[in-house]
Chain A
Amino acid sequence: MNKPLIAITLAAATGFAQAESATYSIDPTHTFVTFEANHFGTSTLRGRFDRKEGTVTFDRAGKTGKAEINIDVSSISTGVAPLDTHLKSKDFFDVAAGNGSAKFVADKFGFNGDKVGEVSGSLTMKGKTMPVTLKATNFNCYTNPLFKREVCGGDFETTIMRSQWGIDYGLTYGLPDSIRLLIQIEAVKQ
């Protein structure tokens, strides 16, 4: 709760000097973090993290931005309870050992015109931090008719190798290392 407040205060303070920069708070009801993994060369396993929060600050004119998204790993949801339990266990995320949160921090926004094209930063999971670049497959801003505020967002994706974060269960018997992350974000202008 404190972090978004600080970000808003900062944005308000710098707002006088640079009118284009704005802070957006992530709308958790329109933000989804989904992962996809192929299962034994046949079907794709999909899951998501249900609890996430964060802020995005970006300047469309100056073409800069910052984002911080915190993900509650224990909110992992595949729709199959025993699988969720296994994913939280020592074999994968090891939530009980203090790995209950993951964080994506980005400080490099690439723009195509005035639209965000990619976001580069680092992803921390299971105590390891590695670089990650999210590519925007769709980006747009609109005025939400209900809260009369600007909302910006889009669809982002990347593919990571889970072994880089020390999550290597099942690699020896055919579970894939490569995991596709699909992130749908909407953030409301503060």
Chain B
Amino acid sequence: MRHAAWLLLAAGACAQAEPVVYRIDPAHTRVHFEVRHFGTSTTRGRFDTLAGSIVLDRGAGSGEVSIVVDTGSVSTGIAPFDGTLRGANLLDAQAQPQAYFVAHRMVFDGDRLASLSGEFTLRGTSRPLTLRALHFACGPHPLLKREVCGGDFEAELTRSEFGMTYGLPFVADRVRLQIEVEAIRD
């Protein structure tokens, strides 16, 4: 199925080698984070509000991804904890209401998208970040009758690099990100 989608992409590339814009579908796009608590369980949360676009130039095998995440939309299911996360010594959502990921470098392994590299800006600090593609595919959506591309990506960041040192070392410095994305062709 996935292979078929990429074959279609490859076939399409010959006829049409120009950038195509996909708009991120917020109903099927989410950023989750995981951080180890006292070396024991994993605390999980997500950001509920985000927007962005993907531009794919299939002929050139290149593209651009830009995502804006509303830091105040952090949600763990525990309201007081969400309040702590939004506070000045963690996300600082009031002063820094948005985080950004902008990627220009797509690495392909054969016809498979392997990774996406760019810059992540959080609390006003920018650092390089690479998202590994666990899977990525494009195909016609059965209900929308439009092409949809989507996949799962993961990345790791060190939160102290962005000035978030609160709770170290009891709450780990390393944060794992899981990003599930679907984007609909414009």
Contacts and interface: CB of A to CB of B under 8 A. Distances in A.
Interface of A: 28-32, 34, 39-46, 48-50, 75, 77, 79-80, 82-83, 138-142, 144-145, 151-155, 173-174, 182, 184-186
B32 interface: yes
Given A39-B150, A42-B149, A32 B38 contact: no
A31 B44 CA distance: 9
B36 to A, nearest CB: 8
A34 B41 CA distance: 13
Contacts of B175: none
B184 to A, nearest CB: 12
Contact of B142 (A30, A50, A173, A185): A173
Given A41-B2, A77-B75, A46 B40 contact: no
Interface in B1-16: 1-2
Contacts of B26: 80
A141 to B, nearest CB: 8
Interface in B147-172: 148-152, 170
Contacts, number: 105
Contact of B44 (A39, A48, A153, A154): A48
B26 to A, nearest CB: 8
Contact of A144 (B38, B150, B182): B38
20 contacts: A28-B78, A30-B43, A39-B28, A41-B1, A41-B137, A43-B29, A44-B180, A46-B46, A46-B178, A77-B75, A79-B48, A80-B26, A138-B41, A140-B40, A154-B40, A173-B142, A182-B44, A184-B44, A186-B38, A186-B41
B81 interface: yes
B127 interface: no
Given A32-B43, A41-B137, A79-B46, A46 B32 contact: yes
Contacts of B32: 46
Contact of B27 (A41, A46, A83, A186): A83
Contacts of B48: 79
Interface residues of B, number: 41
A77 B77 contact: yes
Contacts of B75: 77, 79
B127 to A, nearest CB: 25
Contact of B148 (A42, A144, A155): A42
Given A32-B77, A41-B137, A79-B75, A46 B39 contact: no
Contacts of A77: 75, 77
A153 to B, nearest CB: 4
Interface in B64-94: 75-78, 80-81
